[in-house]
Structure 1
Amino acid sequence: MALTWSQVKTWSSDSLSGYVGTVGSRRDTVLKQVNALQARMSSFEGEGQTADALRKKMTAAQKELEILADDLAEVQDAVVAAERNVSEVESAVKNALSAASLNGCDISDDGSVSCHIPYGTDGTGAIQAAIKKIEVLVLEALSLADYADSTFQAQLASAGTEKSTSSMPEKGARPWSKEEQEKFRNMSPEERAKFWSEQTYEQKQYVCDRYPQLIGNADGVEAWARDRANRINLREEKAKTEKLIRNLEISVRNSAQYTYPGGAYGNDIYQRNKDLDDRLDRARRDLEALNKVESTLANGISLEDYQHGTKRDPISLLTLQNDGRRVKAAVAQGDVDHASNIATFVPGIATTVEGSLEGYVRQTKNLREAAAAQGNISTKDVATIAWLGYDAPGEANLSNAGDIASPKLAQAGSDRLAGFLTGMQASREYGAGDAHMTLVGHSYGSTTSGMAATKVKPGVIDDLVLFGSPGMGTFDPSELNVNESHRWVSGLPVGDNVQGLGGILRKKIGIAGLGKNPMDANSTFTHLSDDATGYERYNHDAPPSNPGLYALDTIVRLYTLNHPSLPSFDNHNFYLEQGTETLQDIGRVVAGTKK
């Protein structure tokens, strides 16, 4: 990479922030000159050749000034984008320097890392472990800087050219200061919904385009705006990830040249290569997830285009984040800003965007169609969301058993889910009006959903549906902020021993547990259909779903490599498949017709 660590570590977004204001002020001055010249032309009443020549000169001058204003707007747009990207680089540099400081290491001007403090009896190994961690952080910062630099150069090079355009209209839009951005970031979903409703449409469009990372995941912002911003985030995240992959591949190749087999030194180098390999694997999975989101969105149109009259079904991207363990996304079908009924579906273990999004978008499409059919309404009146917005546990095996049995990931996910639901409801209050909102949770996602239902205010969730549930997220039903007559549960009679597993684990091995089994008679949940036999892959010969009877066997299965002689979960994922009565009954809840 052309950029060096010595250059990148001095980058500051503060100077760019000030320049945004300077360019904006110059543009305002030019626009005032345009308006003044227009006023002069309107009031000029002279006749004859001299007067005509003057009018011609004034018209030409006005045109030149308008072009200059457009050029300045394009420069301002480029600087705003650069400010955002440089701020991200600053954070990455800070992370690398902080890690170096904590581990007693130094980062030289060329980006190489050295550590001199011995760690215990295995000093060399510990030092090498610290070095490999920091080297990857340095590489990530340099890759982000490479993206910021190349993007800024390209935008500046295109400013003022014949094909260039600015997203900034002459009136009704302006950049936000850093203070304004921070204030917006720290608003509650309800505060943000009110603030957003007070902005002009032009300002909303502008901030979506200039601050997409701020808007795309901002709870309380309208769905069309989050979709608009997240489509930009998707494009930029793909470009950044592709650059990171290329740079990691180069580093892996270069590092491999110095690998020596055998001996302590060779093992140290191997560990350093493994760390790079692990980061490269993560980056490749991230890119796979981003590509999956992109291909999913290609099956419909943006929500904004739909709301402006384009005749095709909308698919919108309401969440796009890359933090924690993996890429996270929420994809909606239908018009979330105007539909009368909205269902948010939260899946469970083994959920990843790259591996699961396509299937869950298909199942939420099934649910949307079922709700429309059962409610005798148009699909325009129903919107469904596949919410893959949290780190779900991995596959049911020994390495993931701790995550599956623990409420930790559900707790973290429920915080995000509660904010998402609260923001959507608040946005509707300031927009098209209240919608009938149903939260639909499956498997470990039902635990996440139940926990979210304890964190939202009453009235945010109108109906709560849990199915294939290991636990409802709480052992006290009174904590659920959903009317008791609008709590629903389904559990298949055979082939789904996930049901109630959370409470059993609590009793058997003394962990915190995932909450009360919503299938229990005293759970306050009303039972829906448990008939999924209409699905072609339904296993009629699976053992009964009886977590009490199979408690120990089920626990063993989770803590082993899915031994085939133990109880199966063959039918666990079939509730929302075509041909099932479970799908139709949950559809009745979503449509508001279930009594």
Structure 2
Amino acid sequence: MDIKTLHDADIIGITTAKNAFDTLATAFGQHVENWQSEVVNRLHNSQWTGTAADHANTRMQNLENELKAAQQEIGLVSRALQDAYDGFAAAQAHLISALDDAKTAGLTVAPDGGITWDNDPKSPTFAGHGAPEHAKQIQDRITAALNEADHADQTINARLGHLATNASNGTGLDSATAKADTDAANALQQIPAAGTDPNSVKGWWNGLTDEQQQRMILNHPDQIGNLDGIPAAVRDKANQTNLKNLIQDRNNQLKNLGPAPKQYLDPAETNGGPVENPDYTEWKRKRDTLKEQLAGFQSIQDRLDGKVDNGLGGPGSNPPLLLLGIGDQGQGRAIISWGDPDKAKNVSSLVPGLNSTMAGVGGGDAMTAKRVYDSAVSSAQINHDTPSVASVFWLGYDAPQLEGSGPSVLMQDRAEEGGAAYNKFLNGLRATHEGEPAHMTAQGHSYGSLVVGKATQQPGGLPVDDIVLVGSPGVGVDKASQLGIGADHVYVGTAKYDPIAMAPAPGMFVPGWAAVEAITNPDGLWHGTDPASQGFGAQRFSVADGSVGDSHDNYFGKDDKGGDSLPNIGKIVSGHGNTITREDPR
């Protein structure tokens, strides 16, 4: 596709063809009805019986099925032509808009896409000092419009080619074929359900024209933005829209709560004792929940808007910050990425643990992923590689909280649910990655390491090359080899004074259990064998000893107290795990 072809395309002809097929489908439908009433029904109502009658009735029924199938196929041609018109019309409009803006800015666009302008400040047609930047923007818009037209051309050509083949070889007369074709056309208008195989989602998305894709993003940002198998840049665009919708919704709900009911019941109703009004209690509960959700969503919006320090300007300079997931399920969902995981050669996905919240993603917690990004970039540079990194902070589950969720940190139900979601997310990154497969690293901190462990036990395993576990209370298995990627690719960092590493947790909470646990599994932690133990069989890397008060949170270089931890993680993420500073297992 070139500029002149798209600009001059008479797409009205597509509408003319579409209308013709509509007319044909209508006329064909009338013929089917006439056949039914004039031939089939008369035959059924006749007194004709016997073998010949049975054969005739069977043939009539088969012919009726063929006619109905043909009618469906004709209708599918019309639908494909309508989608073609919509796709080409959108691409053409985008191109014309870019060309008009170029003319207004004093830029001249050549047929081959080259852009020139008057660069003489003394000339009456001087395009201005910002011309180079304007030209780059116009060039990008023109390229996008041409790509949009190419995409529409390819997808529609495939659909029409399939229908033409059916027509030429007679398969379009088969009821099953017509039904399958109709189902496929209908599926293009239906968003796959959450949890659908990411490769199937990718195929569905690629089967849409650009115009259809834009309509999906506009009309269903909450679904598109959180669907594994959708490209990262698209998810970011949809989620940024959905985030604004979530913020507006919480503000509206707070406004609609109305004034607070009186806090206490009248003394006469309670025999004189101060008793809180149930209406007030419920009002306050709703208000506090909405405020907490709003604060979390707004903190993420502030980070995306650059109102929060992202630690940019370091080794990783200014990577794009993408919002790959946002939602209000449970405690809230938020997934952000420094760098585009669809384009990076090295992709890390960190699962946080105990006390992680949506507000923390917008606050300082998610900076762990940014520090991993910077460390991996530094490692690549040291090893004379061209840095190409994406670092994801994945809060796609309800992390246990010390307050409000009881002993959930001792349970595995949240990890089971989170592990299934995390597995699907990483399979989605595999499906949408461009070019050669990325080197992918799964990371789990604290309870998040149990989530990673559970994710490895899903059907098909976890599609990663390396696993990093830090501050782990156990991962649900007793051997590194059981994580499915080979023990040599499982790396563990545990600080000497990390409380998680200092106590076999069952004994901390259930004294009678401690003795049994110590006998049956001296390396046991809350959720299986201690990953830092020799018996687990992973590679242990050096970290700072730390102190009981801070070591659990310092694996990612917070306050520069993590020692070798963050540099080692950066080496693993960048594909240089063989260069880590090692430490002997316990």
Same-fold status (TM-score > 0.5) = yes
1:374-389 residue pairs with structure 2 within 5 A?
374-376=379-381, 381-389=388-396
Are residues 432 and 468 of structure 1, via their aligned partners in 2, closer, same or farther at CA, if it must alter by over 3 Å? same
Assess if the C-alpha contact under 8 Å between 1:500 and 1:517 holds in 2.
no
CA distance in 1, matches of 2:504, 2:405: 15
Assess if the C-alpha contact under 8 Å between 1:457 and 1:481 holds in 2.
no
Assess if the C-alpha contact under 8 Å between 1:471 and 1:503 holds in 2.
no
Assess if the C-alpha contact under 8 Å between 1:505 and 1:513 holds in 2.
no
* Gaps in structure 2 of 5+ consecutive residues: 1-10, 20-85, 94-147, 157-184, 308-316, 515-524, 579-586
Q: In terms of Rg, which structure is larger?
A: 2
Counterpart selection for 1:230 from 239, 248, 267 = 239
Aligned to 1:372: 377
Q: CA deviation at 1:440?
A: 0.9
Aligned to 2:556: 576
Q: Does 1:435 align with 2:415?
A: no
Counterpart selection for 1:313 from 316, 319, 328 = 319
Alignment partner of 2:291: what SS? helix
What amino acid is aligned across from residue 338 of structure 2 in structure 1? Q
CA distance in 2, matches of 1:594, 1:228: 34
1:55-454 residue pairs with structure 2 within 5 A?
172=152, 180-181=189-190, 183-185=192-194, 187-248=196-257, 250=258, 252-253=259-260, 255-256=261-262, 259-261=265-267, 263=269, 270-299=277-306, 313-324=319-330, 326-376=331-381, 381-395=388-402, 400-428=405-433, 431-454=434-457
CA distance in 2, matches of 1:499, 1:591: 31
Post-superposition Cα deviations, 1:213-264, rounded to whole Å, max 9, x if no partner, equal 111110111111110110110011111111011112x0x53x3399434635
Are residues 465 and 218 of structure 1, via their aligned partners in 2, closer, same or farther at CA, if it must alter by over 3 Å? same
Q: CA deviation at 1:494?
A: 2.3
CA distance in 2, matches of 1:406, 1:215: 32
Q: CA deviation at 1:405?
A: 1.4
Alignment partner of 2:335: what SS? strand
TM-score by length of 2: 0.59
Assess if the C-alpha contact under 8 Å between 1:446 and 1:473 holds in 2.
no
Assess if the C-alpha contact under 8 Å between 2:475 and 2:531 holds in 1.
yes
* Gaps in structure 1 of 5+ consecutive residues: 1-27, 37-65, 74-168, 301-310, 533-538, 543-567
Q: CA deviation at 1:185?
A: 4.2
Alignment partner of 2:302: what SS? helix
TM-score by length of 1: 0.58
Are residues 570 and 268 of structure 1, via their aligned partners in 2, closer, same or farther at CA, if it must alter by over 3 Å? same
Q: How many residues align?
A: 389
Are residues 380 and 243 of structure 1, via their aligned partners in 2, closer, same or farther at CA, if it must alter by over 3 Å? farther
Are residues 199 and 35 of structure 1, via their aligned partners in 2, closer, same or farther at CA, if it must alter by over 3 Å? closer
CA distance in 2, matches of 1:463, 1:592: 9
Q: CA deviation at 1:476?
A: 5.3
Q: CA deviation at 1:467?
A: 0.7
Q: Does 1:591 align with 2:574?
A: yes
Post-superposition Cα deviations, 1:48-106, rounded to whole Å, max 9, x if no partner, equal xxxxxxxxxxxxxxxxxx9xx99xx9xxxxxxxxxxxxxxxxxxxxxxxxxxxxxxxxx
CA distance in 1, matches of 2:473, 2:195: 34
Assess if the C-alpha contact under 8 Å between 1:318 and 1:330 holds in 2.
yes
CA distance in 2, matches of 1:515, 1:246: 48
CA distance in 2, matches of 1:383, 1:322: 25
Identity percentage of aligned residues: 26
Are residues 183 and 30 of structure 1, via their aligned partners in 2, closer, same or farther at CA, if it must alter by over 3 Å? same
Are residues 570 and 257 of structure 1, via their aligned partners in 2, closer, same or farther at CA, if it must alter by over 3 Å? closer
Alignment partner of 1:474: what SS? coil
CA distance in 1, matches of 2:504, 2:333: 26
Q: Does 1:531 align with 2:544?
A: yes
Q: CA deviation at 1:366?
A: 1.2
Counterpart selection for 2:15 from 26, 32, 39 = 32
